[in-house]
Structure 1
Amino acid sequence: MAGHSKWANIQHRKGRQDEKRGKIWTRIIREITVAARAGGGDLGTNPRLRLAVDRAKAANMPADRVKYNIDKATGSVEGITYEEIRYEGYGIGGAALIVDTMTDNKVRTVAEVRHAFSKFGGNMGTEGSVAFQFKHCGQIIFAPGTSEDKVMEVALESGAEDVIRDDEGAIEVITSVTDFEAVKNALEAAGLTPDMAEVTMRPENPIELSGDEAIRMQKLLDAIEDLDDVQGVYHNAELDTE
């Protein structure tokens, strides 16, 4: 089925992430720590940890660094205890935002997140205020030019929920969280390499922002993403800053 254009926004987001590559390892280490502490250090029985280790490999993190952080989280090495906290709020033009954090000091974190929202034109919301506008799911995206028929055949046979082609030809595969890994592995085994693959909070009703509103929204997103305790930021704004 067809969907409207998301490819430019995906590439824009990836570019922003590349600019902030120095923070990626820190965020991956926190995810490894929390995943290992919650589900144990065995990759075979801890899918969340497997995904975190996959992210570490993709970010070229050394294997000994990964092992050290798994050991630290499971008690072999003394370390810091992180708490996962989610914040919700509104950005420019009423755009919905979800901010996932991992912190060893929630008083500091909530103050920093609230300050970023207020300084750059957003508003913190209460728990549940915008989460209903997102779907927790697996998202696997292929660049324009990828065979839609092949992606659809493999994806649906391996348990995907939907396959969506946008106006620019990018193909998006939607899975349940539990089926994400199996679908991703099946696609890669078929020679289909995704441009992006992650478990995410996918917006159900995107809103388009352009001109000054898009620029202001990007400044708000940058301010939140730059906070040390922030692990992920999800929003329903499609930005046209040209």
Structure 2
Amino acid sequence: MSGHSKWATIKRKKGAADARRGHLFSKLSRAIAVATREGGGDPVSNAALATAIEKARANSMPKDNIERAIQRATAAGGDGVDYEAITYEGYGPGGVAIICVALTDNRNRTASDVRHIFTKNGSELGTPGSVAWQFERKGIIL
């Protein structure tokens, strides 16, 4: 029972915080790896990588974790997992146009998950190009 033992309380809080932090670090690591594969391992010439590194540092990700993610992506063979960014388009409630960009290692699983989320929230997944014509890509907001 939590509350009767100081260690039990600390262990419960620390475990939850560590799990959240680990999940965040793995997402940031994947983003760094994808940016590295797409534009190279030099943050000076690769704006996407520089942005991913900046975001990782803002979330207190250790420097060696950042360097390890870059090394895995630039090494021959990498970590065996090839992540790719996929864009899904659809219509939300009231006909609102939605563009969803997902980072995945399995296109089929992600398509199913995105379709489920769209359907669950009263939205509809569209075909490629069905809503993209309504948008003009200007940049990335952090």
Q: For residues 128 and 29 of structure 1, do their structure 2 counterparts lie closer, same or farther at Cα, with a shift above 3 Å needed?
A: same
Aligned to 2:98: 97
Between structures 1 and 2, the one with greater strand share: 1
Distance across 1 between alignment mates of 2:63 and 2:76: 17
Aligned to 1:132: 133
Distance across 1 between alignment mates of 2:87 and 2:57: 26
Q: Give per-residue Cα distances to partners, 1:108-127, cap 9 Å, x unaligned.
A: 11011111111221000111
Offset of 1:77 from its aligned partner? 7.5
Task: Find the residue that maps to 2:52 and give its secondary structure.
Answer: helix
Distance across 2 between alignment mates of 1:98 and 1:28: 21
Aligned to 2:120: 119
Distance across 2 between alignment mates of 1:60 and 1:77: 28
Aligned to 1:71: 71
CA contact 1:81–1:104 (8 Å) conserved in 2 = yes
Map residues 68-217 of structure 1 onto 2, 5 A cutoff: 68-75=68-75, 78-79=78-79, 80-138=81-139, 199-200=140-141
Structure 2 stretches lacking a partner, 5+ long: 1-19
Instruction: Please report the TM-score for the alignment, with normalisation by the length of structure 2.
Output: 0.76
CA contact 1:71–1:77 (8 Å) conserved in 2 = no
State which structure, 1 or 2, has the greater radius of gyration over its C-alpha atoms: 2
Offset of 1:132 from its aligned partner? 2.4
* Matched-pair identity in %: 44
Distance across 1 between alignment mates of 2:130 and 2:123: 14
Map residues 16-55 of structure 1 onto 2, 5 A cutoff: 22=21, 23-55=23-55
Higher relative contact order (CA 8 A, sep 6+): 1
Distance across 1 between alignment mates of 2:76 and 2:64: 14
Between structures 1 and 2, the one with greater helix share: 2
Distance across 2 between alignment mates of 1:132 and 1:25: 34
Q: For residues 91 and 26 of structure 1, do their structure 2 counterparts lie closer, same or farther at Cα, with a shift above 3 Å needed?
A: farther
Task: Find the residue that maps to 1:137 and give its secondary structure.
Answer: coil
Distance across 1 between alignment mates of 2:136 and 2:82: 28
Equivalent residue pairs, number: 120
Aligned to 1:4: none
Aligned to 1:6: none
Aligned to 2:12: none
Q: Give per-residue Cα distances to partners, 1:18-69, cap 9 Å, x unaligned.
A: xxx7554333222211110121111122111111111111111111111000
Which amino acid is the alignment partner of residue 56 of structure 1?
A
Distance across 2 between alignment mates of 1:81 and 1:116: 24
Distance across 1 between alignment mates of 2:121 and 2:97: 14
Aligned to 1:59: 59
Which amino acid is the alignment partner of residue 69 of structure 2?
N
Distance across 1 between alignment mates of 2:52 and 2:87: 19
Distance across 1 between alignment mates of 2:76 and 2:106: 23
